[in-house]
Structure 1
Amino acid sequence: MKYFPVFIDAEHVNCLIVGAGEVAARKLELILKTPASVSIVSPWVSDTVASLAKQHDIEIHERVFEDKDLEGKSMIFVATDDSQVNQHIHDLAHSQSKLVNVVDNTPLCKFITPSIVDRSPIIIAMSSGGVAPVLLRYIRQKLESVLPSKISLLGNFSEKFRAKVKQALSSVTDRRYFWEEVLDGDIGENVLQGNQALAEQQLDTALEAYQAGNKPKGQVYLVGAGPGDPDLLTFRALRLMQKADVVVYDRLVSPDILELVRRDAEKIYVGKAKSKHTIDQEEINALLAKLAKEGNRVVRLKGGDPFIFGRGGEEIQTLIQQGIEFQVVPGITAASGAASYAGIPLTHRDHAQSVTFTTGHLRDNTIDLDWESLARKQHTLVFYMGLTGLNIICEKLIANGLPEGTPIALVENATRGNQKVVTGTLGNIMNKPMTANIKPPTLIIVGSVVTLHQELNWFGASA
């Protein structure tokens, strides 16, 4: 590790910036976020630097650098286009054991400014030592996307109660475990949601309980995992998956999404496959309640959206009956994911002015639906769980007025790398050779919007 990462108390820093172009402006903007005092030396000044200096009452010496400018300065940024001047200031500052940074010239830097994710008072600083700035920006973008935008509220909340917790819990280990519970649990979530008063009340209660050795109450999070592509998870879903003690998941949750769950979380599979239920719904409901009552943070991870053919409502009813707290995190439902990644708009001015989501699930070898109302023109139909009953769906729609030539699409493993799309018509889809190879999970889309698939298919192969 060539560069030792430290954070300097900027309240006692006297900073000099030599140069006043756009490069110097970037350093000035950064240092202005701190309480450091700043002065600038440059024979000419850019509009950006002039504006910043005026806003913050910064002293500018419009002249060339003089050796005496280093007097009383503890940090120096050099941002001129004169290599000889840059070298001279570096050598002079180095001889006086001052921190000096010659911008974009790593060998002449006694310190470097890191890439920063600023959620003050929480600050994340990263560096590649000047060897991979593009990679560093890429990593920063990743961090920006997963950090809650309001994590600064957690920082302020922790600061407010730090002394109180320290006084109540003398053991460093006890304090660490307590703060982990606070930040990972319901209290931290309420802080992020802006429920400050409730969070403070909960912290007082939790602190008293922790002192008495009582474990906090468990909670259940019903999280929509989306159609399969992990990039389609919401930020909140990912955050809750990372704090879960137990994850209860179904067959439609992709392996890539499961990889994002907290490593040491217990994972319980409760999937169902083509009428072969590993565990029935009532048992799942009871399991969620049992795990929460044991004090766990339980994530019920469901493919798609919990409230669209996900039986989330049934699970919540059980939790309410047993007095268990819960939250619901919506996800991108399979219909939206499949349609978007197959290039099939569910509505289009020239094709469909409405869309219906329905189930194609077989019961007693039939599908009991209002077929007459479904078989409409200028309308899109999306069938969930309909692959086994595909022949019945086609027959019923034709019998109730849709032409045999009505387009239909089967989308297997929507949004995933192995997505497959088979298109045809109500009259011929069963005879398509590729139809026999389609496996669940598959969504069925019916309507003239399917004709747009070939033109708009941006993601995967079709058959």
Structure 2
Amino acid sequence: MDVLQQPRNEAPARMEPLAKLPVFWALEGKRVVVAGGSDAAAWKAELLGACGAQVHVYADALSTTFERLILRGAEHPQGSFVRHCHEWDETIFAGAAIAIADCEEDDEAKAFFDAARLAGVPVNVIDKPAFCQFQFGSIVNRSPVVVSISTDGAAPILAQAIRRRIETLLPRALKGWAELAQTLRDRVNERLTPGPLRRAFWERFVDRAFSSSDTPEEGVGGLLLEEADRLREAPAHSSRGRVTLVGAGPGDAELLTLKAVRALQAADVILFDDLVSSEVLELARREAKRMLVGKRGGRTSCRQEDINDMMVTLAKAGKRVVRLKSGDPMIFGRAGEEIAHLDRENIPVDVIPGITAASAMASRLGISLTHRDHAQSVRFITGHSRHGGLPTDVNWRTVADSHTTTVFYMGGRTAPLIADRLIDEGLSSETPVIIISDVSRTTERAWNGTLATISDGIAQIGYDNPVLIAIGSTLAARQIVAQDTDGFGSDRRMALGAR
């Protein structure tokens, strides 16, 4: 099968509904209208002036804040402020790009709104959503990089909190790098044709921008253009893509690493497992092709050999391929086989770790997998063999250690067999057990009991969804609150180790 022509189970990108269309509006040199002399109107006027607009202010009187803004208008050399010492009327809208007003009464707000619309001018009346054709968001300013956040008026405080978080993620030096990108863009485009070469250049540029805490030094632009020339002169080598194995974590998109998000944003093709959540996929670059290559026990699955061949074919075609795996790719993810296959084909490959399900379980339930008084080590074991029964190459006597916490992955169908074998090897039948499915997802379910009652637990939890089985005395160290399984979001007390 030619995977480039007939991708298996390709998942098309899906656009979620938008409350409002985010638009960035060029106002440099444009005439805009601000009616009202309040502090709120001054803030809007300052924003418009910073965009280079000619701000015409209509008000009998101005607040102290507004007066100071107009006096220091020279700080916005691209914009300007024109004071009109009278209230607005229907004649002020001629030639205006937008109109903003601060009106105390709804009657005045409606009159301003109607007059602006009649003149064909987009209008916003501050703090009166019924009289707004557009809204202002909370802004993160690294101009020419500008980030705006909107909650559609539902929670302005939330928008401000989001802005503060983004402020911490975007280095101040990003402004200088963005300005450098503006100066280089045309010259880079002259050197590199659209496609893998140009994309490779800008991805390296972005890596530099985000790894530097300083603005670009003098001469960096010339060095970057030399790098573009080298890419152009070595197209055969540069056009080869690469593969990145990315850990998607247990399902909650907030548990992704920043590096994983960046890889998803840079991908041309994403080969994702059956267990990867839609919330994680939503963070990927919208233009990236998404291909489901899931492997699930007891279900029709994509062969590992086919996945290996897909990665090689796509990478040799110059694609940046993300192999997106649930949990951590290096734990029961067959990453070793994929890396070895890519190495044989001389395909560059790197790995971005993810939070494995056992760690997510421990944090969700508030338990530690190790404890100085109960368990001095932790062990992860696959819960089944290639043919479906218990794994045969496991030293079960060693596993039956009361001072070790053991977590079985993919052990839902073999849970009773696991318990019987551990008891036969000397582990107490009263050893605490936790069974959890869909860890970190809204459908998460948890059960606690003992080795002796593990059959009851797996009967309650089921094994259609991903299941973890944790066994060890440390699991009884505290009481935890787990999400109820009734689907109504109520909490219930789950006493670990309770008999």
The two structures have a TM-score, normalised by structure 2, of 0.64
Asked if 1 retains the 8 angstrom alpha-carbon contact of 2:116 and 2:122, the reply is: yes
2:330 equivalent in structure 1: 307
2:263 equivalent in structure 1: 240
1:221 equivalent in structure 2: 244
User: How far is 1:138 from its partner?
Assistant: 8.4
Instruction: Using the aligned pairs only, state the percent identity.
Output: 27
Aligned length in residues = 442
2:291 equivalent in structure 1: 267
Deviations 1:82-122 (A, max 9, x none): 7788799999999999997542356877x755436545324
Equivalent residue letter for 1:225: A
2:433 equivalent in structure 1: 408
User: How far is 1:448 from its partner?
Assistant: 4.6
Deviations 1:213-271 (A, max 9, x none): 99722011111121134454445534533553333334433466557665762626262
1:422 equivalent in structure 2: 447
- Among 468, 475, 490, the alignment partner of 1:443 is 468
Asked if 2 retains the 8 angstrom alpha-carbon contact of 1:429 and 1:435, the reply is: no
Q: Structure 1: 5+ residue runs without aligned partners? A: none
Aligned partners of 2:138, 2:333: CA distance in 1, in Å? 40
Aligned partners of 2:395, 2:68: CA distance in 1, in Å? 68
Give 1:193-342 correspondences, 5 Å limit. Answer: 193-194=210-211, 202-208=227-233, 216-230=239-253, 232-234=255-257, 236-241=259-264, 243-254=266-277, 257=280, 265=289, 267=291, 269=293, 271=295, 273=297, 279-280=303-304, 288-320=311-343, 322-341=345-364
User: How far is 1:457 from its partner?
Assistant: 0.5
Give 1:12-51 correspondences, 5 Å limit. Answer: 18-21=36-39, 23-24=40-41, 26-27=43-44, 30-31=47-48, 33-35=50-52, 45=63
Higher mean Cα deviation, 356-365 or 73-82? 73-82
Equivalent residue letter for 1:279: R
Equivalent residue letter for 2:351: V
Match of 2:355, SS state, is: coil
Equivalent residue letter for 1:305: D
Distance 1:53 1:329, change over 3 A: farther
Match of 1:427, SS state, is: helix
2:9 equivalent in structure 1: none
Distance 1:345 1:215, change over 3 A: same
Equivalent residue letter for 2:268: D
Asked if 2 retains the 8 angstrom alpha-carbon contact of 1:228 and 1:257, the reply is: yes
Asked if 1 retains the 8 angstrom alpha-carbon contact of 2:375 and 2:474, the reply is: no
Deviations 1:158-189 (A, max 9, x none): 413222145447xxxx55x5797358x74365
Distance 1:385 1:27, change over 3 A: same
Distance 1:13 1:437, change over 3 A: closer
Equivalent residue letter for 1:79: D
Aligned partners of 2:398, 2:24: CA distance in 1, in Å? 71
Asked if 1 retains the 8 angstrom alpha-carbon contact of 2:445 and 2:484, the reply is: no
Aligned partners of 2:123, 2:391: CA distance in 1, in Å? 78
Higher mean Cα deviation, 113-122 or 439-448? 113-122
Asked if 2 retains the 8 angstrom alpha-carbon contact of 1:187 and 1:203, the reply is: no
Give 1:71-110 correspondences, 5 Å limit. Answer: 77-79=100-102, 81=104, 102-105=125-128
- Among 368, 381, 386, the alignment partner of 2:411 is 386
1:7 equivalent in structure 2: 25
Asked if 2 retains the 8 angstrom alpha-carbon contact of 1:227 and 1:333, the reply is: yes
Asked if 1 retains the 8 angstrom alpha-carbon contact of 2:435 and 2:458, the reply is: no
Deviations 1:355-399 (A, max 9, x none): 61411344585352475476235x643222334553454345446
User: How far is 1:425 from its partner?
Assistant: 0.2
Aligned partners of 1:371, 1:156: CA distance in 2, in Å? 64
Asked if 2 retains the 8 angstrom alpha-carbon contact of 1:245 and 1:265, the reply is: yes
- Asked if 1:360 corresponds to 2:382, the answer is yes
1:181 equivalent in structure 2: 199
The two structures have a TM-score, normalised by structure 1, of 0.68
Match of 1:456, SS state, is: strand
Aligned partners of 2:62, 2:227: CA distance in 1, in Å? 57
